[in-house]
Amino acid sequence: GAPVEISADNGLVWDRVKHTYTAKGNAEVKQGDMKVTSDVLTARYNPKGSSSDITEITADGNVILSSAAYTAHGDTAVYDLTT
């Protein structure tokens, strides 16, 4: 699929033990025409692959998920990149 881009106002923390990236403060993830924004984003990657092989993204707080076809709002969202 398309590459995954993650950004945040308060930086990105890489946890090699938990195999996660955590983005805080106006966090945003984009893949193709899909975009998720929230207060905090946690991206999990496949420990058997590379650290750029992101498999799941969890968004917490003021979540907006949008694509060309729709926009959804909520408190929490989980985006599975493997399906």
pLDDT tens digits, the chain, 83 residues: what are they?
Answer: 788 899 999 999 999 999 999 999 999 999 999 999 999 999 999 888 877 789 999 999 999 999 999 999 999 999 898 87
State residue 57's pLDDT score: 94
Distance CA 24, CA 41 (A): 7
Distance CA 72, CA 69 (A): 10
Amino acid at 56: E
State residue 51's pLDDT score: 74
| Side-chain-facing half-sphere of 57: CA atoms under 13 Å | 25
Contact assessment for residue 55 and residue 36, using Cβ atoms and an 8 Å cutoff: no
State residue 83's pLDDT score: 77
| pTM score | 0.87
